[in-house]
Structure 1
Amino acid sequence: MSHRLLLLLVLLLSCGPTAGRPPPAATPRLKLAFPELRARHGLQLFRLERSCCYEALLLDEERGRLFVGAQNHLLSLALDDISQRDRKIYWPAPVEWREECNWAGKDITAECMNFVKILHAYNRTHLYACGTGAFHPVCAFVEAGQHAEEPTFKLDPQRTEDGKGKSPYDPRHAAASVLVGEELYSGVATDLMGRDFTIFRSLGRRPSIRTEQHDSRWLNEPKFVAVFWVPESEDPDDDKIYFFFRETAVERQQGLGKTSFARIGQICRNDMGGQRSLVNKWTTFLKARLVCAVPGPDGADTHFNELRDVFLLQTKDKRNPLIYAIFSTSSSVFQGSAVCVYTMADIRRAFLGPFAHKEGPNYQWVSYQGRVPYPRPGMCPSKTFGTFGSTKDFPDEVIQFARHHPLMYNPVLPHSQRPLFLQASVPYTFTRIAVDRVTAADGHYDVLFIGTDMGTVLKVVSMAKESWHHMEPLLLEELQVFQDASPVTSLQLSSKRHQLYAGSATALAQLSLHRCGAYGKACAECCLARDPYCAWDGTACTRYVPNTKRRFRRQDIRNGDPNMLCSEDPRRGSVPQKQLYGVEGSTAFLECIPKSLQARVLWMYQRTPDDPKQEVQMDERVVQTERGVLLRSVQRADAGLYLCHATEHGFTQPLLQLSLEVIGARQVVGMAPAGDPQLTAGPPSHKVWYRDFLQLVERPPVGTAGRACQRPWSRGRSLPPPRAHAGPPGRGHGEEPRRARRRRTHEGPRAERRPRSASPW
């Protein structure tokens, strides 16, 4: 065996289905298409003519407005209904900038526009917005008023400023930034070609500072995703800014080509740069790898390396928020997306660990074992960790060590050492995430809203299995919010108004965080949904409001046991009934569709109501489908009662009772003509009640086809026999043979035909 074949075998064994294989894709409990969301569940849409790309969303609860950055426009929409009371600012790029952009080889209709990428609340009355400006980044202050009733929304085009280092040049490039006080911290490309990526501080009174230029150890082709400000202690001098991005890994193994790693970077907010080295450059910049992987045997993990979006969930302690991040994979072995959760304690532990160092004959990355200078690189100058008043006072050895060792050796591992939620082998990829912490009757739950590149939003509930260290995800809904399946590019939610806002390249969508009535009309269905937003109020599944004194509120998210909660439901035990008829030898379909897609359908059968129930056995003749059971060839023994049950979360509830009556094909033998091989001999005088009706359906009498289908009939009422001259040729008594009648009809003149008769109905 050649060396190449041996290597291929090793790779297949290590990356095969037994090594770190992700679990199968989760099925949503409820799946709602776009038309149903629009018609029944209040989905609102907003589109602007001659515009697109609703990427920058800023939700302002105090003003009750949703501020939006789009192509050539700034928008102010009402949070209660984005389709009402909209205000617009037309903000195009100047004509000379567009012409220069076109001369540079860009598409004047698609790229040489002003795509608004940055939108922040600057103070109580103004916003700060930045756009691409037809490859001339530009920023401006927007007056938005102080109160909700103020109609102010305007931009002074004479007071624009350079957007370099704040907004990208290219509309295809992403930018991440946060406005803290009067200072803007951005991760962005600062050149026209998109090669000089930097973490940049601008605005404010302090000098602008950036990362080291053209040094792959600091940043190596990064794609910035999100930026957050997190306080470290009671002293504001310890505050840090955290950047989330993905980049080409410098510590990748030789010969494996480019490998993308997810990163978290930190800088001190009071960093002023060095005195003699790293002047106007960050002296506290450090970065670590973010790991999101499915643990496998023998250390063969399934890694999700492509960081897509990050959401910072605030807790009661502002210094310790939860970090929710979504990832995808570029692996050729499998395709999927995952959500991983990180704590600030684990992040800080990684930055306090050993530094990564490149040494040895093969220049491998190892843990640095030498002496680390004081103060430790990455520490902020404050009274908490020393007597240094500024980074300009740091010794030269600290500055030099920080320049050459920006990478930490230990990665940041997710909570529980594995993804919270993942989907593999599905036709979509996660793109955006927003998280809402919901108060329920039995505790607090984090509800995840995940946007995909197929225009859908997934609603996932995270709940503790035994403790907080073992979380269990539950996929509640899959919602098609955009009809054209355009990718979700932005997500914002309002906990106060219970609304979700999603942006794409083509439209803005607004949808309620809950659809309690869609789960069903029974207490068990509401309980099994395990939706923290919903509860059973005694008559319907409605929105749960904490601290209410209503007696019949029923909610149990952790267990979801209807046996404990729904004993008082007056409709419990009542099962809808339906009568079906089947002809022996033909097919019959027993339809039963549960509300929940996660429910398993169980079919029981009994010959008579007094007989014991037995499970319906599936085989080649009896086939179970997603919508019910198909009997390929009905037999007399199939007659009886069929009970459809739904089993979900350990609870079984009856959904439907079907009574199947089988009509024997041998009963029509007496009506068969001589020589018909389909029917055997029988009593010549016996005539089946439905035989004439089947003949009418096959060929209605002349002049009666239009009216025969208009007249309804009721079950149990005998059908009137068709007249001999009006009925189609059949196999009954006294009827003319088919060939003789056909020959007489074609040979005789048209005038000699019998006149049309009235309908036998």
Structure 2
Amino acid sequence: MVQQDPAKDKLRCPFSPLQKNSAITVDDELFTATTTDFRGEKPQISRHFSKDGRQDVSQDSSFSLLEEPAFVGSSSDPTDGKLYFFFSEVGKEFIFVDELRIARVAQVCKDDVGGQRTLQNKWTSFAKASLLCQLPKQLPFNVLQDVFTLPPPEGGLASDTLFYGVFTSQWSVGPESAVCVFKLQDVRTVFAGSYRTFDMQTHQWSSIQGKHSYLGQCGLNNATDSELAQVKKSFLTGGSVKPMEGGQIVVSSEQRYSHVAAMRTLAANGKQYTVLFLLTESGFLHKVVLLGRGAQVIEEIQVFTQPQLVKSIVLSSKGVLYVGTSEGVTAVPVSRCSIYRTCGQCVLARDPLCGWSRTGSVCTAVNGSHENMTQDLEDDNVEEKCRGEGGAGRLTVIAHLNEAVRLQCLTPSSLASLTWTSPRFRNLPEKLFIRSADGSLSFFATADTFGTYSCEAQEGGYREVIASHEVRRAATPRSISPFPKADESHMTNEGESDEDILTEAPFTSTPRPSGDSETFTTEPIEGFNPTPGRDGRPWKEPLDGPRLQQQSYYNALVVVSILLAACVCLLMLGGLHVWRRRDAGLKTSPLVSPEDGSRINRAMERVPSLSSPEEAGPELKVE
């Protein structure tokens, strides 16, 4: 583990994860391009973990070398011992009302140690150049979104290294983007050419008169102070790096691409083709193959259902593309040959990674052996390539009357046009059938719409049936009882235990002669023992005859009636007694005083006689 000063750790990555940065490791040394302050206003390109006793190197802070950069990638050139950083920044060499963003590439030398007195521990090889991605007579795509480094083919020169960049325009209103490719040799040529110098008094850029061979070169540790003073203010090249073949290879006015990856592959015809993987901001991955007649989108894969902030994409040598986001990593295979069901679909896909195997009658990945492999990338000889190969099979669809039927038909490629054919179209109006944007056909199942329907795909003059359906009417269901009929002797009451089930001894039928006819009698088998039940207890012996149960409710009714009559009589007597007491007007008075519970009142209220309500009875006194 390398021990470093904690204060220097802040210079290796930004404070905010939303700020763009780039880093690359070469020979166990770390080179970073990031911001070093909390606000993200101080950009810095530095070297960390320097080897061989060298000091770490960073940019000169006395002069603004970078203007609000947004770093997107980095690459190394081991042949020249240089590193390149790709970014977009505000161009101060132009004077506009609005700030003009410019795509840049900056270089530093891997073994740069700085000057002796001037630019100590600072880059003496730092220089930057603009990347030009522009259509003729149109505004340039001036904002660099991502860059991918494609190494040269095996055995090729390092100068054949390619840089694929995704560009957008700051003036675009809609989702517009372009892909340009730059060659390493062109980048080297620009950095070895003329430079501009910055006037400290007028704050203007001007071209340098004469040749200064030391600008943009490595090994300036022994340069003079005057040369290093010129290096400090002359770090912008006079020329721009132009794309290969004079323009963009991919231009889209409907998609805004954010990331790019590229790979080379060997097709069945022995030629090498380049395949690009372009990720859109809406979460779709476009697979683009670079053919002789131009770039062609051959497949679209939905990676995310919702737009996510993609951090990076990495192309593995195992045939997998990894897409990294803040939530996780998604693996996408570089080829999906199994989605092409027929020879025509496989060939028309024009995927150099896929080919039709005649021996296996399947679309498979192109490997080292190309025998019996059918593939056509440049020409449109599909009929010749797929002669004798079978087409799509017919599917049967069962539907009821007045049921909505939807027949699926997937587009084999983005350039194919779909057409539905059926004998029913001749006699039925077109309004009965609905053709959806996804290629499906919908209608209601009637006696007139039952029949065969075929979906044909046409591309490049080649027509092929890719889906065939036969819509049939569902058979009318028969009236079937949900419960099977059974004899009463086979039915038992629910909840009946095993002991309640009566069994009889088995009988055998023995024919006995009786005149001209045969009479069958039944006899019990000797020695038969009933089989025990599931609980281990034997079955009950059979009864001599049927047991009849008769229940009568007469006695219970009599008892209930008597009890009801008794209750009515008691209620009547109780009511009569209460009525007579109220009619007599009896009144009672408490005998105990509330003040003294132990003493008895000396006088009682007058109680009227029961015989005569008007005569007063004798007064009772208690002493």
TM-score, length basis structure 1:
0.55
Which residue number in structure 1 is paired with residue 233 of structure 2? Answer: 404
Secondary structure of the residue aligned to 2:11 is coil
Which residue number in structure 2 is paired with residue 534 of structure 1? Answer: 354
- Return the alpha-carbon distance in structure 2 between the equivalents of residues 444 and 632 of structure 1: 47
**Where does 1:141-220 land on structure 2 (aligned, <5 Å)?**
162-204=8-50, 205-213=53-61, 215-216=63-64, 218-220=65-67
CA contact (8 A) 2:410 2:438 kept: yes
CA separation of 1:591 and 1:193: change in aligned 2, threshold 3 A: closer
- Return the alpha-carbon distance in structure 2 between the equivalents of residues 529 and 437 of structure 1: 17
- Residue 372, structure 1, aligned to residue 200, structure 2: no
CA contact (8 A) 1:530 1:556 kept: yes
**Where does 1:637-716 land on structure 2 (aligned, <5 Å)?**
644-656=455-467, 713-714=474-475
Alpha-carbon offset, residue 191 of structure 1: 2.3
Q: Which amino acid is the alignment partner of residue 552 of structure 1?
A: N
Alpha-carbon offset, residue 564 of structure 1: 3.0
1:315-355 deviation per Cα after TM superposition (whole angstroms, max 9, x unaligned):
13234311111223332433322221110122122223332
**Residue in structure 1 matching 2:302, options 459, 480, 488:** 480
- Return the alpha-carbon distance in structure 1 between the equivalents of residues 404 and 280 of structure 2: 41
Q: Cα RMSD between the aligned structures?
A: 4.0
Alpha-carbon offset, residue 358 of structure 1: 6.0
Higher RCO structure, 1 or 2 (CA under 8 Å, sep 6+):
1
Q: Which amino acid is the alignment partner of residue 308 of structure 2?
A: S
Secondary structure of the residue aligned to 1:226 is strand
Across the two proteins, how many residue pairs are aligned to each other? 471
**Residue in structure 2 matching 1:460, options 288, 313, 327:** 288
Which residue number in structure 2 is paired with residue 312 of structure 1? Answer: 149
CA separation of 1:656 and 1:345: change in aligned 2, threshold 3 A: same
Alpha-carbon offset, residue 229 of structure 1: 1.3
- Return the alpha-carbon distance in structure 2 between the equivalents of residues 630 and 649 of structure 1: 23
CA separation of 1:418 and 1:624: change in aligned 2, threshold 3 A: farther
**Residue in structure 1 matching 2:68, options 221, 228, 234:** 221
- Residue 350, structure 1, aligned to residue 190, structure 2: yes
Secondary structure of the residue aligned to 2:31 is strand
Alpha-carbon offset, residue 660 of structure 1: 9.7
Larger radius of gyration: 2
- Return the alpha-carbon distance in structure 2 between the equivalents of residues 355 and 617 of structure 1: 75
- Return the alpha-carbon distance in structure 2 between the equivalents of residues 718 and 199 of structure 1: 79
CA separation of 1:477 and 1:275: change in aligned 2, threshold 3 A: same
**Residue in structure 2 matching 1:501, options 322, 325, 332:** 322
**Where does 1:67-106 land on structure 2 (aligned, <5 Å)?**
none
Alpha-carbon offset, residue 621 of structure 1: 8.9
- Return the alpha-carbon distance in structure 2 between the equivalents of residues 272 and 576 of structure 1: 73
Which residue number in structure 2 is paired with residue 40 of structure 1? Answer: none
1:593-648 deviation per Cα after TM superposition (whole angstroms, max 9, x unaligned):
4333431124557689xxxxx9x999989875424587999999999986542112
Which residue number in structure 1 is paired with residue 331 of structure 2? Answer: 510
- Structure 1 unaligned spans of 5+: 1-139, 142-156, 233-237, 382-390, 466-471, 609-613, 662-711, 721-761
CA contact (8 A) 2:399 2:474 kept: no
- Return the alpha-carbon distance in structure 2 between the equivalents of residues 580 and 320 of structure 1: 60
CA contact (8 A) 1:431 1:489 kept: no
Which residue number in structure 2 is paired with residue 558 of structure 1? Answer: 378
Alpha-carbon offset, residue 392 of structure 1: 2.7
- Return the alpha-carbon distance in structure 1 between the equivalents of residues 373 and 31 of structure 2: 47
TM-score, length basis structure 2:
0.66
Secondary structure of the residue aligned to 2:238 is coil
**Where does 1:383-462 land on structure 2 (aligned, <5 Å)?**
391-426=220-255, 429-442=256-269, 443-462=271-290
- Return the alpha-carbon distance in structure 2 between the equivalents of residues 361 and 166 of structure 1: 34
- Return the alpha-carbon distance in structure 1 between the equivalents of residues 474 and 442 of structure 2: 27
CA separation of 1:597 and 1:161: change in aligned 2, threshold 3 A: same
- Return the alpha-carbon distance in structure 2 between the equivalents of residues 446 and 503 of structure 1: 23
CA separation of 1:342 and 1:351: change in aligned 2, threshold 3 A: same
Q: Which amino acid is the alignment partner of residue 45 of structure 2?
A: I
- Return the alpha-carbon distance in structure 2 between the equivalents of residues 337 and 580 of structure 1: 48
1:691-732 deviation per Cα after TM superposition (whole angstroms, max 9, x unaligned):
xxxxxxxxxxxxxxxxxxxxx943xx7999xxxxxxxxxxxx
Secondary structure of the residue aligned to 2:232 is helix
Q: Which amino acid is the alignment partner of residue 535 of structure 1?
A: G
